Structure 1
Amino acid sequence: MHDPSRPGRLVFPPLDPNVYPALASPSPPPTLSPTSPTASSPNPPNPRSRSAASLPLLPSSLHDLLPDHTHPCCSNPVFVLTADGSSVYRLDPKPVAEQPPPYASFQERARAATEPASSSWLLQGAGDSAPRSPERIGQRIDSQERQYGTFSNVEEEIPAAACVGSTLRTIFCGDRSVALASSDEDRLAWGTFWEPIADPAYWRTLPHLLILNFPFGLMFWPPLLAGTLAGTALLLTLPLGAVVWWLTLLLARWAATLELRMQAVHGPMPRARVVFYRRREPLSPRSRTRLLSAAECGETEAERDTRFLANSWAMFTDHYSYAALAYFLLIKPLVVLIPTILLIACFPPNIRCSVIAAQRPSHRNPETLVSKVHDEYLTPDRPTTLNAGVHGTLRGVEIVGPDGVKARRFCQVPFAHPPVGERRWRKPEALPSDASWDNVKGEEFGALAPQPEYQVRNDKGDLYPMGVPNAVLDEDSLTVNIWTPAGAPPKGGWPVWLFLHGGWLQIGNPAMTDKNDPANLVSGPMPTVVIVPGYRLGLFGFLAGKEVQAENDDGTAGNFGFWDQRLAIEWAAENAHHFGGNGANITIAGLSAGAYSVQMQLAYELNSDAKPLISRAMMFSNALPAQCKTIEESQAGFDGLAEACGVDAGLSGPEKMAALRKVPMQELVDKVMHLKIHTFRGVTDGAFVHPEMYARVVNGDFARRFGARGMAIIIGETPQEEVMYGATNPPRTLDDVAIQLENYYNPAAARQLVACWPLPAALQGLKPDEPITDKTQVDAVKRMFGDIVAHGQVYVSERALVRSLLQHCPAENVLRFRLAWKAKYFAENAIFSGVVTHADDQWAWWFLSRFGFSSDEDKVTRSWLAPVVPFIAGDYKAAAQAWYGFAPTREDQTRFRELRNGKIAIVDDERWARCIEIADQMSK
């Protein structure tokens, strides 16, 4: 614009030196020629342009958040100032649909950027002695169609600059860098493409985006999305929606402002010159009028409208409010999610799985392993149905692989009435023999038996919660999950493999995770019908006491989980044929507490008049170490629970039971780990557990009955069972050692076990009730506790059982093993690295090839499982020959088949003598 006091001179807005370092101190613009058309008849200034030109420039970030309704492409010419200020150009106006880019050609931009800023403002007029170079005049801003108008000549440039008014555009070419040097015009495109990779400034943006910017944006995504959805929904019915929308827009604008400030404080790249700069009007007409008056008086301060309703309305009508909302709801999440998905999709499958497997967060769930991308299980399961005769139709799924259907799975098929209400802490009640399965959701897993969350901390300090992620707990969980091979069954049906899950009888799941999925087993080396039942756990399955016994005529005082297992075995015998299985050929197997349960089921069937249903057994890492607690010894657990639930000790037995049955399931789950006796196990009640059950193992009566039935067993362990046991509920004082052991054993057995272990040197001198906090002492007590429990639960109890069985059974009917190796993937993802501890052998027994066995791993695992096929078919001699490589004798009881370092061998049992010695002491 013109300064009235200085005719022919241009007045430019003052420039912010932080934003425009090259233009902060410009030379005075040239004098206008008297013959200039603009000088003689200047464009009539409009109030907005006049007021805007007289105000100092505001920060661009604030202007960009305010509305502007005077886009130059709508009506006015577009004026372009080169990046170094060497020229001001005017472009012909175009319709709104054709918004011209304010960029000169590469050649022109290069010259503009390389010339000194001190001379860049010497815009010569027509009468100057040093006219501008002709090549700098009349240049075009080229698009591909060359349609956006021409540069005007020198006489037009200078007066045109007076009409810049409230809109000024600059070309972006970096902070102090050259857009494109003139000498680079002939360089190959690849050279200029790779150039930025060597610039550290580009790499500095990555930590800024990953650590600061992206998390900042994603932090606002949930509240803004919730506000948008809630505001829209409520707006249709209630005025409250307007309030929600007001808060949402305010949050979006506040977040946008905060991000701009964050960028200003922690900018990942050097400050760049502004591409696009616009002056703004105040929001209200009153402020605009005051601003014009202030500008005429030489004042520069504008009054802001402080009216709440006016500003609220302005916020609703300002399109920048919705731009900010869209930015945080759509743009920023997509910027994060889309590249992440592309990176995952572009990674080679093996590399990606290695990266995922290598991650070791502080909280991991060992029950859930990460599947490989090429895994056939990523193919969606296909729905299927089963005609179950009198039971109707059962829904399930077909597990599909690249070569077709691999297996079929039917979930949560009920075998008993739900043990809820008055059925809590009572023996399970079988369903009618013609119970309908039409409404069973067999295509999906059901609820878990109520259980607390166990956590195990490994040697690196990582904490692992053990359980099924996102599983629902429900007392209505007496169901079975079933896997069958694809295709028609053989004549007589497939063998039935009924597996009892482990978990200290306190936790566990019926094969609901990747870690114990039988699909590969039944479709590969061991075609069987696999049935895995759920059963009651912890205080729901094993609460015992005189109050419980008083409710049952047969003397049952607990053991409800064992009764659930027995009913599931009976159900399998009656219904296996619906799934192609042979109900007369049932092998029961179990891991840990499941193996303990297997021996309990064998003892029940051999010690009572129960119908023979079990053909053989497989026991992994557990056996019966001692007689179960008596009712009197179990009473402390009942009384502790009643006290924790606020049940009056003076109530009668039926009143106590009624009060406990009213306690909600989740409340009981939450209380159990705070009890002194928090582990509930079997009780000697004479109904399920015979008073001489363990004595019959010691004196050989159990083995004689076992041999008379022609039964056989596979039994074994891992080499470092104590590592897992030591990390589970470790003692906190020396007194606590006995308390924790009494959670497993009767008091006499606990004392006998403790007597077999000398106190480690690191624990010498500690008081019995002194807290153990020193790391050396903590490690020592964990090792001692783990060693005691591992011997009691596994090493001693298994060898005592093997010795007894081999005294009364053929040698080929007792097959021993030690699995001392893990396939690479499972070794990398194990809770404990460098050892093979409790339950680390399940990858082999379930044949979990879906996680990527190498050819050698696949071969050795198939060889390991090969003898199991004749074993479950009842051909024990063939199984023993394949197991040992020779026909075993009773003298081979101290040897077992071992898988170590990828090789199978027959080795001596170095623990035999010591464990038999401890077994003899415990049996006295």
Structure 2
Amino acid sequence: MTKSSQPHPVDLQFRGYVEGLTYLGQDSRPLCHFFGGVPYALPPLGPFRFQKPRSLPTCYRYGTRANPARFTGGCGICPQPGPSEKKGGSKWDEDCTQSNVWVPMGIPPPEGWPVLFWIHGGFLQFGSPNDLDLRAFLAESPCKCIVVAPAYRLNIIGFLASSTLLATCSDYHVNLGFWDQRMALQWTYENISYFGGNASNITVGGYSAGSHSVFYQLAYDLGVPLSKAIIKRALMLSNGPGMQPKSLEEAQVQCEELFKVLDISSDLKPAEQLARLRGTKAQTLIQASRKMKLHQFRAVTDGSFVRHGLLNELNNGSFAHQMKKRDLHLVIGECSDEHFVYGTWRPPKPGFNNMLHRLEADYPHDACKVLMSHYFPNRKLPSRYKSWKAAFGHIYADVQIYALERGMANALVKHGAGDLIHRYRIEWRATCVDKKYPTSWGATHTSDMAIWFWGNGDILTPDEKRIVENAFLGPLGAFLEGKKVEWGTQHAMQLRTLKSNGTVAIEEDTRLEEGLVLWNTLKKVGATGISRESKL
């Protein structure tokens, strides 16, 4: 599909004038509007690296009527490991606190278009909202909504944590990627009406690490007064709450490993160490992470964005209570073969200790010991796994999706919020996925992006469009609008399943018991850091 377009100006009132694009189809029919790389915060550069995002000041203007700010490209790409790294980071830009905004054609409803705030995935290490192509989604599918897709800081730049720096440097903060997302969400709430959106109808959704982020954004939103709450509904696609993140003390070990790789002396004062970090080129930081044992940079339990004992809030019912109080509905689910893709992300070398060290790059040490005892009671590779790499893919998929997603759903049901949950499972994939993943991988991780976004730039056949609309996009359109969703399940623990032959079945969850075993095993580890009662 070609990307023919024409200019599309919009008056953002007190924020000034912007110019985006109207994408055109092959018959010159308008498909949708697009604004790429609209800033939601000031650039986090120079001395502002490793600081919280700074909101746009009241006097900030994008442009004037005579000279509107042109947003026709995309968001800045946060420096990251992956294909772009091999190109020398030529497309990287730490000035990435920006969003892409997609708007349907036509006159908005009287209350404004529903809004989907979409968080991209990538293990919190890589990714970009620029990979979305929503032209066909907005032009053809039953979902008519504005989509706001923010970029946010990733890996070291977004999730480096140090208890020492946090305690001694007032201009240093942690969980910056999550704070960026929240800032983008706040910007959306304050500005989306100028694009024709309904600020009172915002669904927060995401895929993979984006879904993981949705849980933490939802948890944060449930923890603020109702007057400051923004989220009306949530989509958690192929990821769950994960475990309680590492403590700041555990994260300090990773930070010290980074200092050693970068040759930043431990004898320097914390402020001097921070200055050295800020003066280090982004490419050098990414290369340093490649040399580390603890090479994954994720959220930490800081008592601010991530509360101590956060997952206990699911078990004790406070999470469910707040969701019921706000009538906040959730779509959550999985693909049947997630593990194939998961097994490709920096898998360990063969051996028990190598597996332990790899898991410790992501999860708290005590939790990793529990995982190793659960999966490898004899310290050997069980016969059900073909290799240590395959075992890693299964463990990663269980922790990120299968087991902990079920633990979360079960806890919400147990505490009376079952009527708010819509669960699904996908065993089918479109033929356009074949050019990306082997057919033997089945419905693996991200293969369903073609379902949720009507091909996401690829072409669905007429039969595939009927399957996708019937299975999910019809119900999703109603969900985004806040209408009653015809999900078909009789109770919250059943699954709406898209079978491999393209039919929809309402099924019992055959993996529930297995998932809850791991959830309850990990629950014994408890909260990280200082033990405190978890409160909402």
Q: Normalising to structure 2: TM-score of the pair?
A: 0.91
- Aligned-pair CA distance for 1:683: 0.7
Give the equivalent residue in structure 1 for 2:99: 480
Is 1:529 the equivalent of 2:146? yes
- Map Cα deviations across residues 780-831 of structure 1 (whole Å, 9 max, x no partner): 1011111111111100111011111123345442000111111112234325
In the alignment, structure 2 segments of 5+ residues that lack a partner are 525-536
Secondary structure of 1:643's counterpart equals helix
Give the equivalent residue in structure 2 for 1:712: 329
Give the equivalent residue in structure 1 for 2:528: none
Structure 1 pair 434–484 and aligned structure 2 pair: CA distance change class (3 A): farther
Is 1:602 the equivalent of 2:218? yes
The higher radius of gyration belongs to: 1
- Map Cα deviations across residues 681-712 of structure 1 (whole Å, 9 max, x no partner): 01111111111211112222111111111100
In the alignment, structure 1 segments of 5+ residues that lack a partner are 1-374, 455-464, 765-775
Q: Summarize the alignment of residues 875-890 of structure 1 with structure 2, pairs less than 5 Å apart.
A: 875=483, 878-879=484-485, 882-884=486-488, 888-889=490-491
- Aligned-pair CA distance for 1:609: 4.2
Give the equivalent residue in structure 1 for 2:128: 509
Give the equivalent residue in structure 1 for 2:367: 749
- Aligned-pair CA distance for 1:379: 5.0
Secondary structure of 2:312's counterpart equals helix
Structure 1 pair 695–718 and aligned structure 2 pair: CA distance change class (3 A): same
User: Match for 2:22: what amino acid?
Assistant: E
- Map Cα deviations across residues 365-407 of structure 1 (whole Å, 9 max, x no partner): xxxxxxxxxx3xx152112211111222111111101261010
Q: How far, CA to CA, are the matches of 2:478 and 2:169 in structure 1?
A: 43
Give the equivalent residue in structure 2 for 1:64: none
Structure 1 pair 481–629 and aligned structure 2 pair: CA distance change class (3 A): same
Give the equivalent residue in structure 1 for 2:531: none
Q: Normalising to structure 1: TM-score of the pair?
A: 0.54
Q: Any conservation in 2 of the 1:762–1:780 contact (CA below 8 Å)?
A: no
User: Match for 2:429: what amino acid?
Assistant: K
- Aligned-pair CA distance for 1:471: 6.5
Q: Summarize the alignment of residues 207-218 of structure 1 with structure 2, pairs less than 5 Å apart.
A: none
Structure 1 pair 557–691 and aligned structure 2 pair: CA distance change class (3 A): farther
Aligned-residue Cα RMSD (Å) equals 2.4
Q: Summarize the alignment of residues 492-507 of structure 1 with structure 2, pairs less than 5 Å apart.
A: 492-507=111-126
Is 1:873 the equivalent of 2:477? no
User: Match for 2:286: what amino acid?
Assistant: V
Give the equivalent residue in structure 1 for 2:532: none
Give the equivalent residue in structure 2 for 1:816: 423
Secondary structure of 1:800's counterpart equals helix
Of 896, 901, 905, which aligns to 2:505?
A: 905
Structure 1 pair 802–523 and aligned structure 2 pair: CA distance change class (3 A): same
Q: Any conservation in 1 of the 2:164–2:252 contact (CA below 8 Å)?
A: no
Q: How far, CA to CA, are the matches of 1:672 and 1:849 in structure 2?
A: 31
Q: Summarize the alignment of residues 452-471 of structure 1 with structure 2, pairs less than 5 Å apart.
A: 452-453=81-82
- Aligned-pair CA distance for 1:655: 1.1
User: Match for 1:870: what amino acid?
Assistant: A
Give the equivalent residue in structure 2 for 1:788: 395
- Aligned-pair CA distance for 1:564: 0.4
Secondary structure of 2:387's counterpart equals helix
Give the equivalent residue in structure 2 for 1:617: 234
Give the equivalent residue in structure 1 for 2:516: 916
Q: How far, CA to CA, are the matches of 1:736 and 1:557 in structure 2?
A: 31
Secondary structure of 2:406's counterpart equals helix
Is 1:390 the equivalent of 2:14? yes
Aligned length: 515
- Aligned-pair CA distance for 1:470: 8.5
Q: Any conservation in 2 of the 1:387–1:394 contact (CA below 8 Å)?
A: yes
Give the equivalent residue in structure 1 for 2:73: 444
Of 22, 25, 31, which aligns to 1:406?
A: 31
Give the equivalent residue in structure 2 for 1:207: none
Q: Any conservation in 1 of the 2:295–2:361 contact (CA below 8 Å)?
A: yes
Give the equivalent residue in structure 1 for 2:447: 840
- Aligned-pair CA distance for 1:861: 1.0
Give the equivalent residue in structure 1 for 2:243: 626
Give the equivalent residue in structure 2 for 1:657: 274
| Structure holding more strand per residue | 2
Secondary structure of 1:801's counterpart equals helix
Secondary structure of 1:449's counterpart equals coil
- Map Cα deviations across residues 95-122 of structure 1 (whole Å, 9 max, x no partner): xxxxxxxxxxxxxxxxxxxxxxxxxxxx
- Map Cα deviations across residues 547-604 of structure 1 (whole Å, 9 max, x no partner): 33125669x7510100000001100000001111011111000111111110001111
Give the equivalent residue in structure 1 for 2:404: 797
- Aligned-pair CA distance for 1:843: 0.5
Of 47, 50, 59, which aligns to 1:422?
A: 47
User: Match for 1:883: what amino acid?
Assistant: W
- Aligned-pair CA distance for 1:469: 12
Is 1:564 the equivalent of 2:172? no
Q: Any conservation in 2 of the 1:412–1:440 contact (CA below 8 Å)?
A: no
Secondary structure of 1:827's counterpart equals helix
Q: Any conservation in 2 of the 1:754–1:788 contact (CA below 8 Å)?
A: no
Q: Any conservation in 1 of the 2:163–2:252 contact (CA below 8 Å)?
A: yes
Give the equivalent residue in structure 1 for 2:260: 643
Give the equivalent residue in structure 1 for 2:189: 573
User: Match for 1:739: what amino acid?
Assistant: H
Of 701, 707, 727, which aligns to 2:344?
A: 727
| Segments of 4+ moved more than 6 angstroms | 465-471, 759-762
